[in-house]
Structure 1
Amino acid sequence: MKKLLATISILALFSCSTKTKIIGIQPYGDIDSKVLDAMTEILKTSYQTQVYVLDRKELPQEAFINIKSPRYRADSLLIDLKKQCPDSIDYIIGITSKDISTTKRNTNGDIKTPESKYSDWGIFGLGYKPGKSCVVSTFRIKNVEASLFKSRLQKISVHEIGHNMGLDHCKTEKCVMQDAVESINTVDVANFELCPNCHHKI
């Protein structure tokens, strides 16, 4: 009996230490259910997590800018997502159909040149590394056939949550954590999965 109790205690301790992470998907505005289903499917598969779709909300107006074109600052959205994230959620990923942007900087922290190009740079997604929140936009991946759109959406979602989990950009060819290097083509040729090295890190 004592041996059985000890075994149960060890199993309980192991279960607590390997608690399944929970990801929340935060729709900004009216997001098609097919988009939410595609994100839920790939995040569950890639990270063996529980995934829940949260109630939709509007984009925060303080994130809106109109420098080159109407956009929302992704860094402001990350702050909004982190503030609004329920305590029960480990990571939260925002999804919007609006264009999002950030400021691209070099290794010294200065804005990349030319500043006119990179001070407000349109992007597919952005995530804290490590952190609790990330955001993906469908604005720059739309206007293609449905299968390609779904592929792009899923890969970008896996990529940004990977950053939340502490993963850097990966140099392994076709790893989903590869830097897009300002091209959607990099996303298109990437695998859906993390490479073995990245997978080991999480």
Structure 2
Amino acid sequence: MDASYATFKRDQVEQAIAIASGINPQHEPKRFDALRIELKRLLDRDRRQEQETPRGRPVRRAFHGEGPPGRGIDVLYSGYEAFALLIALRLMRGGLTQARAVDFLRDLRAPLAGFHYETLRQDPHDLRPDVDPGDLENLIRIGALIREPEDLAHLTALAGEHAEAFDVSSPEKKPVSGNICRSLDDLCHRLRWASHEGHALIVVELVNAAHQLAHHLKRIEPRPRGRR
């Protein structure tokens, strides 16, 4: 199953994000419940802001696809939408408020979704030909597939209420964001700029996070309807 195209039920998303966050859902129920509450609040805020969008204006969504399904139908999430929820949690750990994290990821949806798709198109075996298949799977599972700093990519956001999306022109006319640093030079440039402007910068790694979450999403079976 290709996690960039597949859809997942909410319980699969919650469990995969928990594992990627270092939480064992079976053995740490209190921590897992707390994380589930955080995810619910993010999803509720995204829906609430969507409902408050004036009629006639385009609806922007951070974690949802189309509008809510009918009663009795499960909401399904794409691999990217699960990834965006994970990134939102990490931005909040860095100090962004829930509201700013949702707005920020709404603004970044097109370029971040494109980055996520491109990242998962890369075969881990091609990225790490030096690692045996069994060891490779373990590296993906723990979020350590990419080792060299120059091969990583990072999402940057100004801390506090200053967090905003920075647009960058692209010769290929693809959605590109100045918040996504694809090299160490890009990241250092953003750090220098933030320091010069007197801002704190939140930095979230993206490549290992995308592969790790996709790995767990593919391996978690959906819970039968009606069971917690």
TM-score by length of 1: 0.27
Q: Which has the higher strand share?
A: 1
Instruction: Pick the structure with greater CA Rg.
Output: 1
Q: Which has the higher helix share?
A: 2
- More relative contact order, 1 or 2 (CA 8 Å, 6+ apart): 2
TM-score by length of 2: 0.25
